Each structure stands twice: as structure tokens, then as C-alpha cells.
Amino acid sequence: MKLILIGFMGSGKTTVGCLLAQKLGLGVIEMDDLIIKKEGKNINKIFAEDGEARFRELESQIAKDLVKKENVVISTGGGVVIKAENIENLKINGKTIFLRTSFLEIKKRLTNIEDRPLFKDKISAEKLFNSRQKLYEKNADLIVDTDGKSVEEVTYEIISQN
Ligand code: S3P
């Protein structure tokens, strides 16, 4: 089994991913963490020193490296849907789940914006959010609305539909 969580920053991919993996007895993989480890620096630094394009290359490489993984929950970065090849790779033997969350809720939830270069400016973040919604929906095998729900509720909703 391979479950891939997609959605905007702050939609709960990491927290839901951890609980989901624990409940289903699966491993958990955080794509951003793999990128940070590989480069030896945080996301802000990668964006600032090497540029977003380099970050996207690394993200695509990781998506490719994960094709053979099994029995895992994969938490993606919010921009993974930008490139079709990423989703194609992640979907091999896997099921994508979109954690759909409103921008209002995301603003409330996202207190840690320190290492999120694309969330520093709220106006451009909202534009990015709007431009991404269709992509998440199009690429989702399952959509779970998360507004007003706890991590446990979202997790159980996913489990009940798998
Ligand atoms: C990004 C989301 C981030 C991280 C990077 C870019 C995006 O991941 O990959 O800052 O383009 O939406 P989270 O969704 O885990 O915050």
C-alpha cells in the first residue's frame, strides 16, 4: 500500500501522514525532509541560494526515487503537483489523497512560516493557493475536506475509505 498526501502548505499533510502511517502500520516519508537531508540546508536556503527551479528539480528527483517504495505514506510538498511527471511517478502503485483546506483555515493553522519561502507574503500565497486548487483536484484519487476537523477525524476518514 502506498498513500500519497497532496495539498497546499498547512493542509496537514505532515501531521495526518504521521498518524495515518501509525494507524495503518506503514512507514512515513516526508519529501521535503529528504530534500533538506540531501542538500544539507533548509528550504529557505535552497530557495535563496539555488533558486526555486533547483528546488523543483530536487523534488522531481525524489518523486522518481520513491517509485519503488511500498507500504508507506508519503507527505509531499505543496508544489509537487506543478509537474505532471511528479504525480505520474508518485501514482505508480499509489493512491493520491488531497487534503482540501480553505485559505482562511490555512492562515489560522500555519504558524510556522519560518521555513516556507512561498508563504511569507500572504497575498501572493493566496494567489498561488487559488492557482493550485484545480491541479490538486485533478490529480486526487480521493478528496478529504479538512476544515474544522481534527487530525484524528481526517485520518479516520481516509482509513474508512481505503
Ligand atoms: C511548497 C511547499 C512546501 C515546500 C516548499 C514549496 C509549495 O511544503 O515544499 O516550501 O510550493 O507549495 P509544505 O506543503 O509541506 O509546506
Give which of 82, 10, 75, 24 is closest to 52, Cα–Cα.
Answer: 82
Amino acid at the residue 97 = I
DSSP type of residue 48: I
CB of 118 closer than 6 A to ligand 1?
yes
Q: What tens digit of pLDDT does each residue of 51-95 get? A: 999 999 999 999 999 999 999 999 999 999 999 999 999 999 999
Dist. CA 115 → ligand 1 center (Å):
9
* Atom in ligand 1 nearest the alpha carbon of residue 115: 10
Q: What angle separates helix 13-24 from helix 151-160, to the nearest 10 degrees?
A: 50
Query: How far is the C-alpha of 86 from the C-alpha of 64, rounded, in Å?
Result: 7
Amino acid at the residue 33 = D
- The pTM of this model reads 0.97
Spatial neighbors of 130 by CB under 8 A, at least 6 apart, are 103
